[in-house]
Structure 1
Amino acid sequence: MQVNRRQFFKICAGGVAGSSLAALGVLPSTAFADVRAYKLQRATETRNTCTYCSVGCGLLMYSLGDGAKNAKAEIFHIEGDPDHPVSRGALCPKGAGLLDFVHSDNRLKHPEYRAPGSDKWQRISWDDAFARIAKLMKADRDANFIEKNAAGVTVNRWLTTGFLAASASSNEAGHLTHKVVRSLGMLSFDNQARV
């Protein structure tokens, strides 16, 4: 299409006149489309670490509501943390798909217990779960703790129980976990990358 200078000015004048009429309210209100609000505007941002491997990439998780005040706060968006020194905002395919992991129907959200000989799992409270774990650990440690070896040397070992920790935790958390496990006398301890 060939447009000379005079036709160009006519087209521009028509556009200005049309937009001015819309601004004055002559055209119907549908001419003004409502701009959609940014989806993260009202969200609570939470920083976290990816749970998949030992790299420890940083995440930004967005939820509506405050998890401390509202138990129904639902995560609706997860992205890489650009300020994180490890990943600088990048995520692998597993990390990018964390939202599906969070909302999976197969995800366990409560502790469950299956009695010996039973074929059914029953939900128990967190307090009951921690109390049961502590009771079983204490009973096993009391029954199997080795204070001295055959030569009479103090060894303080607990060989019947091991501990598997997630290596995506910070250096400080790993150091504290190591200290607690070793102070109990456990020798079997590992920071597994694929927990």
Structure 2
Amino acid sequence: MQMQRRTFLKTTAAAVTATAFTGLGPAFALDNVVKEAGECKIQWSKQTTSICAFCSVGCGLVVHANKSTGRVVNVEGNSDHPINRGSLCAKGASSIQMTVNADRPTKCMYRAPYSDSFEVKDWEWCKKRIAKLIKKSRDESFEKKNADGNVVNRTMGIASLGSAALDNEECYAMHSFMRSLGLVYVEHQARI
């Protein structure tokens, strides 16, 4: 018997389809998968939603932290998030390393002007230095009035670039702070 190409393709497609779905049955329904995944959650941890910090897509994360120590023990995709629906790229899947990583810097490295070496500084020193430099730049570049005499109360010497890792509330707080300093150039990573 000689089989025609079209008949062969139809038979092959039917066989592959039958093989693929044989045995799966109603147990493979999405509701059951979601239910089982919910039962596998870490019971002794506190779950918090967050946003992935790696790019400007803004994928949702569920962060599990130990209730007694507060230490992050697991990070996974948020299945309720409208952007990623639980899936994560390789960087997002490894985002736990941002908090649980022995190689992560715990101290600030500061290199003084015209120096050829770095000094180890603590966070308090760094925060005070950053605040001092912001004030200095703002004071040096602050304009009360423009060339036409209109009141503008702005600084053109500082710009702000937001992060995709911030949620709406953090973006609002940061934006309000930047505007209170008189910044004109306020941008967000997602638009770049």
Relative to the length of structure 1, the TM-score reads: 0.64
Structure 1 residue 42: deviation in Å?
4.4
Structure 1 residue 43: deviation in Å?
4.5
Letter of the aligned partner of 1:81 in structure 2?
N
What is the distance in 1 between the residues matched to 2:179 and 2:65? 38
Greater radius of gyration (CA): 1
Other-structure match for 1:59: 61
Question: Equivalent pairs: percent with the same residue?
Answer: 39
Structure 1 residue 175: deviation in Å?
2.5
Structure 1 residue 64: deviation in Å?
4.7
2:153 maps to 1:156: yes
Equivalent pairs counted in the alignment come to: 153
Structure 1 residue 181: deviation in Å?
1.1
Letter of the aligned partner of 2:148 in structure 1?
A
> Does the CA-based 8 Å contact 1:168-1:193 persist in structure 2?
no
Instruction: List aligned pairs for 1:1-195, cutoff 5 A.
Output: 40-64=42-66, 66-68=68-70, 73=71, 75-103=72-100, 107-193=104-190
Choose between structure 1 and 2: higher helix proportion.
2
Question: RMSD of the TM alignment (CA)?
Answer: 2.9
Relative to the length of structure 2, the TM-score reads: 0.65
Structure 1: segments with no counterpart, 5+ residues = 1-37
Change (3 A) 1:142 1:187: same
Structure 1 residue 107: deviation in Å?
3.1
What is the distance in 1 between the residues matched to 2:78 and 2:146? 51
Structure 1 residue 52: deviation in Å?
1.0
Structure 1 residue 41: deviation in Å?
4.9
Letter of the aligned partner of 1:60 in structure 2?
V
SS in 1 for 2:184: strand
Change (3 A) 1:111 1:66: farther
Change (3 A) 1:135 1:120: same
Structure 1 residue 138: deviation in Å?
0.9
- 1:146-174: per-residue Cα shift (whole Å, max 9, x none)? 11122211111211111111033222322
